[in-house]
Amino acid sequence: MKQIIYILIFCALSCKAQQQQQQILPLNYSALGSTPNSYFKDSNNELDSFIGRWQGNFQEKTITLQIFKQVKVPIERFGKPFYRDQIFVKYEVKKGNTILESTMNKDFTNDIGLSIKGSKIQDNSITLVFSGGNCSVGIGIITLKIINTTQFSWGYYPGTTTRNDITCPPDKDYTIYLPETENLIFTKQ
């Protein structure tokens, strides 16, 4: 009989621990003070408005965005593990038929350079982080604001636009190809 009681107590504690590990929170809920392994879930499907192939034009360049939704992506905040739903953007910048920069075929498994991702939604807008290119040149914030079901506006605000001459090799391309502008209209393809 004691063994059965011990098993029941163990199961109850295990179930309670698993429930705490699987806590599901709203997408914009703060990780500060949240239980480790919490899952910031897109329960209202707010990210879905951004998913798809989009195109815009800026200074004789065509910019194509391919936006995906990633579910339950592991992240770390405040030294603790969490999970979140987010969007991830691949892009291509062309001038005429010449591709200036493309991440469309890039595997981001081991390299986060040129990655664009995020999940912070507010007032039909999403704030994304661009990791920048070589030596993180161009690292900054991108904001997408839904206009209607087929259009959103783009705003890109790079924090670093130059390279560090001491640690960045001079033979790399440090051009920022993404459009550094506000209110650029992208249309769903």
Evaluate the CA torsion angle 40, 41, 44, 47 in order and state its sign.
Answer: positive
Residue with tokens 């107590």: 9
Whole-prediction pTM: 0.83
What is the Cα–Cα distance from 166 to 21, expressed in whole angstroms? 44
> Residue 148: which pLDDT band, with cuts at 50, 70 and 90?
very high
Position with higher pLDDT, 12 vs 189: 189
Are β-strands 39-41 and 24-26 bridged in parallel, bridged antiparallel, or unpaired? parallel
Report the pLDDT value the prediction gives residue 8, as an integer from 0 to 100.
45
pLDDT tens digits for range 94-131: 999 999 999 999 887 766 778 999 999 998 999 999 99
What is the Cα–Cα distance from 125 to 107, expressed in whole angstroms? 27
| Per-residue pLDDT at 161 exceeds 80 | no
* In the chain, where the domains are located: 2-188
What is the Cα–Cα distance from 71 to 112, expressed in whole angstroms? 18
pLDDT tens digits for range 8-53: 454 554 555 554 557 999 998 888 888 999 999 999 999 999 999 9
Residue 59: left (phi > 0), alpha (psi -120 to 50), or beta?
left
| Per-residue pLDDT at 171 exceeds 80 | yes
**Closest among 120, 154, 121, 117 to 139, alpha carbons compared:** 117
DSSP secondary structure of 74-139: EEEETTEEEEEEEEEEEEEEEETTEEEEE-TT---SS--TT-EEEEEEETTEEEEEE--SGGGTT-
pLDDT tens digits for range 50-77: 999 999 999 999 999 999 999 999 999 8
Report the pLDDT value the prediction gives residue 9, as an integer from 0 to 100.
54
